[in-house]
Amino acid sequence: MIPLIGRLYRKNNVVSSVYGRKLINQSAIDIIKAHRVVRRIDGEELSLKATKAILDEIETLNVGSVSVDLGRLNKKFKESGSVDLNAFLSNELGDKVGQAGATDAEPKDVVLYGFGRIGRLLARILIERGGYGLRLRAIVVRKGSDDDIVKRASLLRRDSVHGRFEGSITVDEENNTILANGTLIKVIYSNDPASVDYTEYGIDNAIVVDNTGRWRDEAGLSQHLKAKGVARVLLTAPGKGDLKNIVHGINDSWITAEDKIVTAASCTTNAITPVLKALNDKFGVTHGHVETVHSFTNDQNLIDNFHKGERRGRAAALNMVITETGAAKAVAKALPEFEGKLTGNAIRVPTPDVSMAILNLNLENETTKEELNAYLRETSLTSNLHKQIDYIDSPEVVSTDFVGSRRAGIVDGLATIVSGKNAVVYVWYDNEFGYSCQVVRVIETIAGTHPVAVPAVKAEALTA
């Protein structure tokens, strides 16, 4: 099955998954685990034989440029009562049949402005996708030491939290390029975003992803648009002023061709907004408080030293640090119905990655723990928020179990507390990798390179 999944991806642009869990570049054990998850829905594991049969037929049909959820397809096929898998898939895939290798849009050049924690994870994801729709063409950084490019390539290759890069990386110091799994990345040194001429490197009409956080308003980010070869700008942080803060799955439909600058909000806003929307749609939320237990970040000090922020100057690895978060108020920028409904605070803790948001909510309608959990579980599996929300009810999971999660947030069902109209919901999130996956989804929306999903997930499923 593994060679077939890879072949369909490389030759046909077919992305395979099982209820949102990707199968590309996964081990045999990971694929088996993805099939076992289906027990939550159907009461039994998804048969490897069944998914192999679907993949075989997809290859026979010469399908192109589509995102196929094998779990949903198999369920729909069984419910249809059909015995002709080829005919069923031909109907589901429609005009994608016979289009192997075709894409829905022209590939878009992507430039990473900054190459820190988020920048390197974005690079990993873009490289992993092998150039489908989005082409990582360059990174822009400030010049460091003479062996700057070697050090940056090493940080891409090895990560203390996220492990080794899956593949090969070679460095060409003379030409300032990094070759990662066949993706040639130009390393551009610059201190001024407006002065870079990207067309000099064959890059044009590019999306610049600013992950430095240095500029957060329209005036500052507009400097990128003055550079030759830049068409759009995406900020990987909450934007200021009238900039659109986009949480993919919630308000990505707000992005228009006229938007030259948009932002991807914060990791916490991305984690909590989908869950809040789901709960508001079903039960109604009158008001609430968001408390985040957040891993330390590079903004804090390793040991006690001066910091302009209150308490953040104290040693990050030794202390729990109470600090502020704008995530609660930022929810309203993506979900206007939450304007004035939420308060928020944060505690930075001595862990390097994976955070938790505790949502203490007052609901319009009474519910029970069982009903609320069942709804969120179903939402994570069958709604149009299945890429944003995951659900788990294991009594043994801890924070490190969620390193590398591709969902914006993971509801911990066993921790849920419900008393009448009051609910406390615990949401884990990989504040680095999960957020980076959300950012890439926004890039795809800007570029118009989202593959068509089969079978389609109906929006009304969220409130069913």
CA-atom Rg of the chain in angstroms: 22
- The confidence band for 42, taking pLDDT boundaries of 50, 70 and 90, is low
DSSP strands (E only) in 257-305:
261-263, 285-295
Highest mean predicted confidence (pLDDT) among 4-13, 298-307, 429-438: 429-438
Tokens (6 digits) for 220 = 């500052």
The 10 Å Cβ neighbour count of residue 263 is 24
Residue 145: the pLDDT is 85
- The confidence band for 456, taking pLDDT boundaries of 50, 70 and 90, is confident
Answer yes or no: is pLDDT of 233 > 90: yes
Q: What distance in Å separates the CA atoms of residue 432 and residue 392, rounded to the nearest whole number?
A: 20
Instruction: Bin 322: left if φ > 0, else alpha if -120 < ψ < 50, else beta.
Output: beta
Residue 12: the pLDDT is 84
- The confidence band for 10, taking pLDDT boundaries of 50, 70 and 90, is confident
371 phi and psi angles, rounded to 5 deg? -70, -45
Average pLDDT over residues 266-276: 98
Average pLDDT over residues 425-440: 98
- The confidence band for 455, taking pLDDT boundaries of 50, 70 and 90, is confident
Residue 34: the pLDDT is 86
Residue 64: the pLDDT is 81
Residue 95: the pLDDT is 85
Q: What distance in Å separates the CA atoms of residue 165 and residue 79, rounded to the nearest whole number?
A: 41
Helix (H) or strand (E) holding 127: helix 117-128
Answer yes or no: is pLDDT of 37 > 90: no
Which of 35-49, 252-266, 354-368, 418-432 has the weakest average pLDDT? 35-49
- In sequence order, the β-bridge partners of residue 136 are 110
Answer yes or no: is pLDDT of 92 > 80: yes
Which of 101-115, 336-350, 388-402 has the weakest average pLDDT? 101-115
- The confidence band for 221, taking pLDDT boundaries of 50, 70 and 90, is very high
Helices 48-60 and 70-80, packing angle to 10 deg: 90
Percent of the chain with pLDDT over 90: 73
Calculate the alpha carbon distances from 267 to 414, 421, 429 in Å.
23, 28, 8
Residue 161: the pLDDT is 97
CATH code for the domain defined by 268-431? 3.30.360.10
Cis bond upstream, residue 274 (ω within 30) = no
Judging by beta carbons within 10 Å of its beta carbon (0-12, 13-18, 19+), is residue 227 exposed, middle or buried? buried
Residue 131: the pLDDT is 54
Answer yes or no: is pLDDT of 461 > 50: no
Mean pLDDT of the chain: 92
Q: What distance in Å separates the CA atoms of residue 13 and residue 439, rounded to the nearest whole number?
A: 21
Q: Which residue has the higher pLDDT, 131 or 463?
A: 131
Q: Where are the domains of the chain?
A: 2-102, 108-236, 268-431
Q: Is 267 part of the annotated catalytic residue set?
A: yes
Catalytic residue of the set 8, 187, 267, 447:
267
Which of 63-72, 197-206, 237-246 has the weakest average pLDDT? 63-72
Contacts of 209 (CB under 8 A, 6+ apart): 110, 111, 112, 113, 119, 122, 233, 234, 236, 439, 443
- The confidence band for 33, taking pLDDT boundaries of 50, 70 and 90, is confident
- The confidence band for 304, taking pLDDT boundaries of 50, 70 and 90, is very high
Question: Residues 55-72: pLDDT tens digits?
Answer: 999 999 988 888 899 988
Confidence (pTM): 0.91
Residue 20: the pLDDT is 80
Average pLDDT over residues 127-150: 88
- The confidence band for 190, taking pLDDT boundaries of 50, 70 and 90, is very high
Looking at CATH, the fold of the domain delimited by 108-236 is given as Rossmann fold (3.40.50)
Residue 366: the pLDDT is 97
3-state helix, strand, coil in the chain (%, to 5): 35, 25, 40
Average pLDDT over residues 277-291: 98
DSSP string, 332-383: HHH-GGGTTTEEEEEEEES-SS-EEEEEEEEESS---HHHHHHHHHHHHHHS
